[in-house]
Amino acid sequence: MRSAILLPGILALALVAPAANAQEGQGDVVYVPTPQVVVDEMLRMAKVGPGDYVIDLGSGDGRIVITAAKKHGARGFGVDLDTYLLKLANSTAKKEGVAERAHFIEQNLFETDLSPATVVTSYLLPEMNEKLRPKLLTLKPGTRVVAHDYALGEWDPDEERTLLVPEKVVGDPGKSYIFLYVVPARVAGRWESEIAPGGKPVPYQFSFEQNFQYVHGTARVGGRELRLPQFRLAGEQIGFSLAVPAPGGPVAHRFSGRVKGDTIEGTVTVGVGSGQRVMPWKARQTARGEMKTGGAAGTRILAGGRR
Ligand SMILES: C[S@@+](CC[C@H](N)C(=O)[O-])C[C@H]1O[C@@H](n2cnc3c(N)ncnc32)[C@H](O)[C@@H]1O
């Protein structure tokens, strides 16, 4: 269980307390700025660069999007309901010379169109993250979501860090938790491909079950059904190993590729050592399955065997 979920409620109390004035934020959570050192680390973990479009949900004084624009050359916007903070954020963006690339608008974060985002950032209450999670999972595969202090519930982060922040007095005083998620491609369902390790094309069929970024399933090769070891998607990158029985002993296969909708393109490495061959691998989806997202119906497959 991640510690931030168990934080004693100082931050939670601060976040649910009614706002007394405009500087305390408006809406479902009050204004608590993310310490700058944490902003820097969030953007570093998300590998934000000039090609990125960053959306901060509940942008406060705008520091996350302004830092992304100023230090990393990214573009983006923030939304908030507090007009004082929005004005402050837009005037800081102007002062810092990044108003062309960073702007702030009055909008409910639950209604924001997130489709342009390559990176989404948040410092929100757990129940808000929970409500946002289904929408975040529909974003383009590879989109990074970085959450400060509160995780996204059942979705395991791809990376998490705890930072010592002596000046932080809310939440777990002196500490900040950062959770990085990469939106996984949707691969649940059946896939067909052909490879020719011995010169003659052989059908390789796969059936994948998916729970968030975790995948398991079976492969059908030469009339045999083989169980695939669990593996993890990294956005649109897929990679897994398979040992195919053969008269001279199992033959190692290493599949790796990029998922683009209903196709996967990549390579398969067959064999080991000097007999190893690398061949193109192209798979086509023939039946779509549902990505599970925890809950009663979900067979949760967790790294390290946790359930
Ligand atoms: C904890 S602060 C985080 C500020 C900033 N993201 C940061 O990390 O420094 C949360 C912000 O969300 C804003 N907010 C709360 N509910 C909102 C809603 N439904 N729509 C848009 N903004 C909201 C508040 O006004 C506040 O500025």
Q: Is 197 in the pocket of ligand 1 (CB under 6 A)?
A: no
* Cα-based distances in Å from 99 to 66, 82, 107, 295: 9, 19, 18, 43
Judge if the beta carbon of residue 79 lies within 6 A of ligand 1.
yes
| Ligand 1 site-directed mutation target among 124, 131, 148, 168, most atoms within 8 Å of CB | 124
CA distance 289 to 129: 25
143 Cα: distance to centroid of ligand 1 (angstroms):
21
Q: What domains, with CATH codes, occur in the chain?
A: 3-182 (3.40.50.150), 189-292 (2.40.128)
Task: Decide: 54 and 73 in contact? Cβ < 8 Å.
Answer: no
For residue 306, pLDDT over 80 is answered with: no
Give alpha helix (H) positions in the chain.
10-16, 36-45, 63-72, 83-95, 126-136
124 Cα nearest atom in ligand 1: 1
Residue 156 Cβ inside 6 Å of ligand 1? The answer reads no
Is 11's C-beta closer than 6 angstroms to any atom of ligand 1? no
Confidence (pLDDT) at 275: 83
Question: Helices 36-45 and 63-72 meet at what angle, rounded to 10?
Answer: 60
Residue 288 has a pLDDT of 97
CB 193 within 8 A of CB 282: yes
Counting from 1 in the atom list of ligand 1, the atom nearest the Cα of 109 is 20
Residue-level pLDDT at 302: 33
Q: Which of 230, 231, 225, 212 is nearest to 298 (CA)?
A: 212
The chain-wide mean pLDDT, for the chain, equals 89
Tokens representing 176?
A: 């900040």
Assess whether the C-beta atom of 147 lies below 6 angstroms from ligand 1. Answer: no
Check if 153 has its Cβ closer than 6 Å to any atom of ligand 1: no
pLDDT for 79: 98
Q: Identify which of 297, 53, 274, 30 has the alpha carbon closest to the alpha carbon of residue 154.
A: 297
Residue 30: is its pLDDT beyond 60? yes
State the Rg of the chain over Cα.
Answer: 23
Q: What is the pTM of this model?
A: 0.89
46 — pLDDT class (breaks 50, 70, 90)? very high
Whole-angstrom distance, CA of residue 187 vs CA of residue 55 = 26
Cβ of residue 108 lying under 6 Å from some atom of ligand 1: yes
Expressed in angstroms and rounded, the spacing between residue 249 Cα and the centre of ligand 1 is: 59
Whether residue 22 is predicted with pLDDT greater than 80 in this model: the reply is: no
* 160 Cβ below 6 A of ligand 1: no
pLDDT tens string 148-179:
999 999 999 999 999 999 999 988 999 999 99
- Average pLDDT of 77-87? 97
- What's residue 15's pLDDT? 52
User: For position 19, what pLDDT does the model report?
Assistant: 42
User: For 188-204, what is each residue's pLDDT tens digit?
Assistant: 999 999 998 778 899 99
pLDDT given for residue 7 in this prediction? 41
pLDDT at 23: 66
DSSP output for 103-155: EEEE--GGG---TT-SEEEE---HHHHHHHHHHHTTSPTT-EEEEESS--TTS
What's the pLDDT tens digit per position in 86-104? 999 999 999 999 999 999 9
C-beta of 168 in contact with ligand 1 (< 6 A): no
Taking only the tens place, the pLDDT of each residue in 253-302 is 999 999 999 999 999 999 988 889 999 999 999 999 999 986 533 333 33
Task: Summarize pLDDT for 194-241 with one digit per residue, the tens.
Answer: 998 778 899 999 999 999 999 999 999 989 999 999 999 999 999 999
